[in-house]
Structure 1
Amino acid sequence: MTEDKKIEIVENTICQDKISELPQDLLVMILSLVPIKDAVTTMFLSKRWLSVWTMIPTLEYKDNDEMKKSVWNLLDKSMQLHKAPVIDCLRVKLGQLCPTDVDVVKWCSNAVSRCLRDLEFVLSWSADPTTLPSSLYFCESLVKLTLCHKILVDALLDLNCVVYKDEYSQVRLLSSCPVLKCLYVRRNKTDNMKKFTIKVPSLLELDYAGYDVGHALVINTPRLEVCSIYGFVGDSISIENMPFLKWAYIKLGSCTNEKLLSCVSSVSTLQFFLSDEMDWGPATLSCLSSQLEIFIWKEYGGTEEEEEQFLRYVLASTKCLSTATINLQYTLKKNHEEEHLMMEKLKHIPRASTTSQLLFKYVSFIDVPLNVFMPPYAS
């Protein structure tokens, strides 16, 4: 073989387009991993690539502070050409650069018609809040919905400080999502809702934060497994129908403990933050005596009689308890001897569960994090 022939073979091998020979599904998967702007530009490579990007199921359009113009034009033009029959995820974040005279939700309606599963819509433009298409309220394929800032929810699922037309529209919002599994709610003092109702039969995970004492919360979620509630909902809280709850994180400004804890009787792991305004009577955990397996007390001071009484009741009443973690609260005035005496005192508190263990977490007087594991109580 001549030298020129060898060079020709090498050049042909180098120039051969191996990527374009890949199956269509694999090319779509590859383009799903790059920014939408870059994916769209591949249409200019060749006829083979002209429509590949139009089938990607995940779309993300987000303004940021470094941009000189909004992604709105890209969103508007690319969605006109997009052809995927199913959209797994659509994430849109439009900021101050977005024109205020455009229809920013028309492509939301388009995505809903193509079995949309996950929608994140953040609208921070300078115009007034805008409404969503009514088709979104009845989307049976929707699994997760995140709405932020200037979106007016008038009939409807991270719900982040959104504005509702009235209480009925908020209830209709959730009832119109029949396959919703995860719900994240963030409310602030400007929230126009006095009562927030969560009645979702399909819901598995709930994360709720309210910051106004005047807010009321009603929860009816029969399949819920994970629940986080924190804020200032006071005594205006009604929780029922949670037979499958396994993990709960509760941090409230004030609340009647019996009223709240009676609703989480099936929980196996509980993180419960007590405040000075709460009733610390022994009855507060009576509903958990046959279910609780893991108990965590953060910032245990040990200086109040009520604290010790409450802890004694927990350990003496929870028959299935496997681990109780006590995070000791220290000040610089406490010395090592006092720390040791406190742990020794707590270690000998009688426990209903003969296999339970106490785990103390604290910072010593020299600021060295330590973990001290106590063996099961021997009756």
Structure 2
Amino acid sequence: MTYRKAAPPTGLPEEGRSYQVGDMIGDGQVIYVGSGIQFFHQGLENGTPYFYEAFGFVSEEESIKYSEGVRAYAVPKGLITLSRELIPMEYDLISIPCHPSFSGDANKLFGDELGEYDPGAWRIFHFNSETNQYDEYPDMAPIDAGLGYWMITLNGGVISLTGETTDATVPYIVSIPPGWQQIGAPYNYEVLFSDSMVSDGVNIVEINSPQNIYIENVLWAYKDGGYLMSGAFVPWQGYWVHNISDKEVTLIITNIPRRYYEAFSSKGKPSHKMSGSGWYIRLKGYSGPWKDIDNYIGERADAQESKDIYDILEPPRFSDKQLSIYIRSIEGEKMASDFRGIGEDIERFEVIIEGGVGMVNLEWEIGGVIPEDIGITLSDEATGQMIDMKGYSSYNLEIKKGEKRRIFILVTP
């Protein structure tokens, strides 16, 4: 059995105390202290800041009744060189896990590997929340840590850059205006999105708190042709977040490594946000190189009639070819997640499918507990077909160019 004590604040190691160096984390080191009643002695670098974690456990073996100690994670710092592979002809949502050289000029950063900037050979662009349009190089702000960018190359290859590590002794601050914003992983190591905070200039709340009425508590990544919900900021990965308020707020990204929590607590292993009372259906679509796999409908005892934390908007498409599956809310919004209260009335979920390449394979999985006397039926408006979703798990349909195919999912008592 393990338990986690409150961790001391980030700071310098105690004078006169020594530590044993363990394995690596990012560009820093993991240091172990304490094993049983024994302590190992090996000096650390003077002046280096560390993350501290107090821990203890009771062993199942009678010979070791109790063990405790401190684990310290050295903070990565200094000038680093990073590289990433790009796949030919595939959009990649990237970020830069450091403060790059050359004042963030994309051509100077990537031109050695990709050649002089040429939209026919490679492109990079960033979403402008004020205009709701993309700014493409050279008409975009300098590249920097904490922001996300679309990038695509004709021939692929490996890009590399040199820059200063982001200061990991403090959280990273990103301004999030109303609407959608492309952000990125600022550190050269993983951190949990659930540890993020939101500030409106007066109050600071946790990202998953009911008091967070600003930023949706979902981090959207893009991988292998589609969006998916992510639980962590990963180096080089870009993301979408959505500010649902009408004011600019600040996202405070934790500086504590994800592995710091996974070693000592369950915080690094969050349960699926769709779990709990009630039931859900996860809709997944595939069409050629495109996919859209994180779409949810369902009923929960704690869901509100008005919009709540279980109702999540679909992130923006960047191409008419991109497959998009969304649930149309009563207010007409495009939702990736729509949960309603448990009731005795017939529920009707309107689902729209657009984009893709011709044939779309729609799959679903059911979670939670659906009463046996509740029926769930997929109704295809265009063909009139009716599918028992409890008896089947997929349905194929052909989408024409520019079509917004509408299906209904009916929940009947």
TM > 0.5 between the two?
A: no
Higher RCO (Cα < 8 Å, 6 or more apart): 2
Higher helix share goes to which structure? 1
In our comparison, the structure showing a higher alpha carbon Rg is 1
Higher strand share goes to which structure? 2
